[in-house]
Amino acid sequence: ATPTSIMVGTGRGAELGVLFRKGEALQLLKDAKVVAVDKTGTLTEGRPTLTDLEVANGFQRQNVLSRIAAVEAKSEHPIARAIVEAADNEGIAIPDITDFESITGFGVKAHVNGELIEVGADRYMRKLGLKVDVFSATAERLGNEGKTPLYAAIDGRLAAIVAVADPIKETTPDAIAALHNLGLKVAMITGDNRRTAQAIARQLGIDEVIAEVLPEGKVEAVRKLKAAHGQLAFVGDGINDAPALAEADVGLAVGTGTDIAIEAADVVLMSGNLMGVPTAIALSRATIGNIR
């Protein structure tokens, strides 16, 4: 492609809300075979709400909710906000905590009035040596509904299963259909529960799911998909997406995402949703494809 065609394509992209930070991205995108997408905040709104809370025998709902909300009040994860909001909405007082700790990709813990409260994914409970079998039927149902099951332990005893649900962005189904129409495969990479991720993927017609990925595992997932499919574009919004954005042939950041993701990306989607991806690929094909 000539410098002039790159300039014209970049200008057209800007009009369409697709900011090419590197001219190279406009040249490469036409050859993309697979689009790998982060789930939370990219496919979904990134604003989950609490949908379920079931306590184990001997525990009381309000008591458990106040304790887990107290711990989550110190966390920045979207899941945390959902739990704190639920407690607020129910008018439940949130006690003070000490010794807060966040275990990335697993969960959070803290002391509340001398009790140790731990909240997180099933793998966090397993790490603590706790069995979550009593809730396995509930967890299965929640996962199949596309909800994320979490667990709470109080002083080392399993106290509750909690679920949050994050609505899919209105534009996501059309964007995936458009990518399929352009002949691309769509893959999801997420730290979320496998069953939950698969339910959402099924609903959206996503071709491949890599779930329960630890933050540092996203790069490896990108490499794996690249080896299997060829040229890869990755779309993400979070701090933990930055390495994957850099690793991809083309990294596209959702414009509403974190600064760190935007800085690591080659392309910024000003619309704040996935629709910019098929737009960018079509533009690359139109600009570069026509000129050679």
Q: Which residues are catalytic?
A: 38
Cβ distance to Mg ion smaller for residue 173 or 215:
215
Interactions with ligand ADP, residue window 27-66 (CB under 6 A): 39-40
Site of interaction with Mg ion (CB under 5 A): 38, 40-41, 237-238
Q: Does 210 bind ligand ADP (CB under 6 A)?
A: no
State which of residues 108, 132, 275, 280 lies at the interface with ligand ADP (CB under 6 A). 108
Q: Which residues of 45-75 are buried (b: 16+ CB within 10 A; e: fewer)?
A: bbebbbebbbbbeebeeeebbbbbbbbbbeb
Q: Based on CB atoms, which residue is closest to ligand ADP, 142 or 283? A: 142
233, 193, 269: which is closest to 25 by C-alpha? 233
- Considering CB distances under 5 to 8 angstroms, the limit depending on partner class, which of ligand ADP, Mg ion, none binds residue 237? Mg ion
The single residue among 37, 69, 112, 119 that binds ligand ADP, judged by CB under 6 A, is 119
Size of the site for ligand ADP (CB under 6 A): 21
Strands of 172-219, DSSP E: 185-189, 208-210
Distance CA 169, CA 46 (A): 9
Nearer to Mg ion, 72 or 237 (CB): 237
Q: Does 87 bind ligand ADP (CB under 6 A)?
A: no
Three-state DSSP at 182 gives coil
Q: Select the residue interacting with ligand ADP from 18, 80, 112, 159 (CB under 6 A).
A: 80
Rounded (5°) CA angle 243-245-251: 165
Tokens of 283: 């533009």
